[in-house]
Structure 1
Amino acid sequence: MTSVFAITASRVFDGQSFHQDAALIVDGAKVGAIMPQSKLPAGMKTLPIGNGLIAPGFIDLQVNGGGGVLFNNQPDVAGIETICAAHARFGTTALMVTLITDVAVIRNIAVDAGCKAAANAVPGFLGLHLEGPHLSVARKGTHDPSLIRPMTEDDLAYLENHAGHFGLPMITVAPESVAPDQVRRLVASGYRVSLGHTDSECAAIDAYVEAGATLVTHLFNAMSQLGNREPGLVGAGLSSAQLHCGLIADGFHVDPVTMRVALAAKQGPAHIFLVTDAMSTIGTNSTGFDLNGRAVYRRDGRLTLADGTLAGADIDMLSCVRFVHERLGQPLEEALRMASVYPAKAIGVTTKGNLASGQDADFLILSDDLDLQSTWIAGACAYEAEDDRRKASA
């Protein structure tokens, strides 16, 4: 492909609305424009896809692994590259590689890997999401309780010193283990602070929102629930205009009825956005893996510890979009926004999430049946389904 070319399709979704019989102009690594096919300049190199849909690339703010790699088990640049490539096969063009609760030495190694991945501009790498260890044991989920601990001054100084070096920095904390002043310092150094794995009452959340927390990690899971007299973090997240809420739409982590209620109840301008919370199994035939010395089993679309506790998710972002559209009845454009526009806003990325002129040329091509045809990152094809089909038939 030349540095400037057009891709034509029966529909182009720019993040807000559909353009019929349109062309997406790609100018190097950026979006040039969207225009009617009839107005394309004469002689422009064109890739026609016929019937189908061009849409903004998916953005996933919680990815623990993929392609056989769990970041906690392989916290290096090669691991990050494998995870990003695995999720590109399902339409994700930017992701936050997530390290769950672990010992400090693993955190340090992971942060060093994130710094190198950012310096090397690994395709699809957006930054690191540190999910723990400063959480609540009462709402530990699959996190090892022996590794959960309060945030110390040394922890905070380390995080402050490394902010901005490993891509976008994001951290999940619980009020039980982190003070509002610590959140304030994290935000001042550039972190997007998410609240999760907490048993806090709704009223206690206010101080953390005032300190700058702007997200809720996997809404409904591993947190205080919405009750008739105590709204919990769920109630705080749904009623707050400032809190963007991640949602795992696999049908196991949250019941579809509950998801519909949450989508109807959420107060803006913050939104509910999709996350996968994906583990190493994505893109593989693996039957399980090891997490902090504990076996995780893969069965019937679920990942669980031996006691049945959900241990991350076995779902990709395109499947989440399909679930929201087909099972929850959300319009296709809203399902697509939940995987692109809304996570971009939640993490503060201004160059991704839509296909306006000047944005990063991160997009995907879907069939009318929402099958992925190809994934493009920075104007280059990162994955093409036809390649997999050719390999399968060889």
Structure 2
Amino acid sequence: MTQSRQIFRGGPIFDGERLLMDHCLIVEAGRIAALGPDNGGMSGTGVDLGGDILSPGFVDLQVNGGDGIMFNDAPNVETLRRMGQAHIGLGATSILPTLITDTAAKTDTAIKAAKAAIAEAVPGIAGLHLEGPHLSTERKGAHSAGLIRPMGPGDLEVLLEAAQMLPVLMLTIAPENVTLDQVQQLSQAGAIISLGHSNAGFDTCMAYAHAGARCVTHLFNAMSQMGNREPGLVGATLANGGLSAGLIADAIHVHPATIRNAWSAKQGPGEIFLVSDSMACAGSTAQSFEIDGRTVLRRDGRLTLEDGTLAGADLDLATALRVMVQEVGIAPEAALRAATLVPAKLAGLDAGYLALGGKADLIRIGPDFTLRPLTQGA
């Protein structure tokens, strides 16, 4: 924002918890100076929201790529800069760039890149998510089976160090290839352990939650499903209040009726939050890209390998909001929380809510759940 003082009014203001009606927000020098009832007496450059929602920026904890490039392709600061800018353009002002299953050398390079990006305060980059390589080959999805492996002592040492040096380190792991003791050590070091790409049973998943796992990666996808005699990872997620869960709400990865039932069944305090699981095409016109030498095709809102396997999502969180509200039937306030405050709290980020003195990372959302220019109508 170029103006020293701006006043936003004329539409609902979401503060991270509630939609506030008949309020105004004042921004001074890029910081939130005031938020309160609009009595019409405030002076400054005015922005009439015209009924649009003003919200803190989205927080996306699973972002594989953007601006035509995958993080795995070139895990360096320039890639993170491009990804950050692409996702800011899509409304996500805080992201965890996500490295999918790769070699130990690539993982080490990604950790160093994330550390450097944080040191340089690259816009949008909040930490790092390592999705693999310690997953289950039975539930590998689009991950390369040849790169999946058990977590060894050397891996553990690298990850423990990374948990200390990064503000946020999320690790998607499967019980099949990571021990309870390793989970406990990583959790105690500050890593967010997320169970995913696993065929583990209910009792095993509950034991891993007890050992320190706090999250589940893309609920329902690439995991053991809930059956009548074996609840699987899905059942453990819904029953265990200590587990939060990311969800790809594109109405492709998970049916809206399934989302609705899971939303109602989830035991707290853990909550379901929205992720994009976005790939290279996010924020670009790319119609295909490569993962580990395999082509991913972008067609009709889907990203698939040539054999039809889903490979991430062609999704942004504004679209996920629309699906949650219009197709799943979730209240806008609750859907907005799932895209802002809930993931921010899980990751320990100072984001996803409006606080006096806080950075004004704001987005404007139209009634059709598309992003609009923030100062349109100024």
Normalised by the length of structure 1, the TM-score is 0.91
Counterpart-to-counterpart distance in 2, 1:70 and 1:160: 25
Letter in 2 for 1:33: A
Counterpart-to-counterpart distance in 2, 1:348 and 1:9: 32
Answer yes or no: is 1:91 the counterpart of 2:91.
yes
Cα displacement (A) at 1:276? 0.8
Counterpart-to-counterpart distance in 1, 2:189 and 2:373: 37
Letter in 2 for 1:222: A
Q: SS state of the match for residue 59, structure 1?
A: strand
Contact 2:171 2:191 in 1 (8 A): yes
Q: Which moved more, 1:179-188 or 1:6-15?
A: 6-15
Match of 2:234 in 1: 234
Match of 1:210 in 2: 210
What do the CA deviations read for 1:180-213 (whole angstroms, capped 9, x no partner)? Answer: 1111111122111100011101001122112211
Answer yes or no: is 1:361 the counterpart of 2:375.
no
Q: Percent identity?
A: 46
Structure 1 256/360 Cα, relative in aligned 2: closer, same or farther at 3 Å?
same
Match of 2:133 in 1: 133
Write out aligned runs for 1:350-389 (5 A).
Answer: 351-374=350-373
Match of 2:39 in 1: 38
Write out aligned runs for 1:1-394 (5 A).
Answer: 1-38=2-39, 40-41=41-42, 43-349=43-349, 351-374=350-373
Letter in 2 for 1:366: I
Unpaired runs of at least 5, structure 1: 376-383, 387-394
Contact 2:162 2:169 in 1 (8 A): no
Counterpart-to-counterpart distance in 2, 1:222 and 1:38: 51
Structure 1 361/297 Cα, relative in aligned 2: closer, same or farther at 3 Å?
same
Q: Which moved more, 1:3-12 or 1:176-185?
A: 3-12
Structure 1 189/30 Cα, relative in aligned 2: closer, same or farther at 3 Å?
farther
Counterpart-to-counterpart distance in 2, 1:47 and 1:37: 13
Cα displacement (A) at 1:45? 4.4
Contact 2:288 2:295 in 1 (8 A): yes
Cα displacement (A) at 1:2? 4.6
Q: SS state of the match for residue 126, structure 2?
A: strand
Cα displacement (A) at 1:358? 4.1
Cα displacement (A) at 1:352? 1.3
Letter in 1 for 2:36: M
Contact 1:114 1:167 in 2 (8 A): no
Counterpart-to-counterpart distance in 2, 1:18 and 1:194: 30
Unpaired runs of at least 5, structure 2: none
| Coordinate RMSD, CA, aligned | 1.8
Cα displacement (A) at 1:167? 3.5
Q: SS state of the match for residue 38, structure 1?
A: coil
Cα displacement (A) at 1:242? 0.6
Structure 1 358/270 Cα, relative in aligned 2: closer, same or farther at 3 Å?
farther
Aligned length: 376
Cα displacement (A) at 1:232? 0.3
Counterpart-to-counterpart distance in 2, 1:173 and 1:298: 27
Q: SS state of the match for residue 224, structure 2?
A: coil
Counterpart-to-counterpart distance in 2, 1:385 and 1:123: 23
Contact 1:112 1:166 in 2 (8 A): no
Cα displacement (A) at 1:374? 3.3
Counterpart-to-counterpart distance in 1, 2:51 and 2:207: 51
Q: SS state of the match for residue 176, structure 2?
A: coil
Q: SS state of the match for residue 353, structure 1?
A: coil
What do the CA deviations read for 1:297-331 (whole angstroms, capped 9, x no partner)? Answer: 11111111121111111111110111111111111
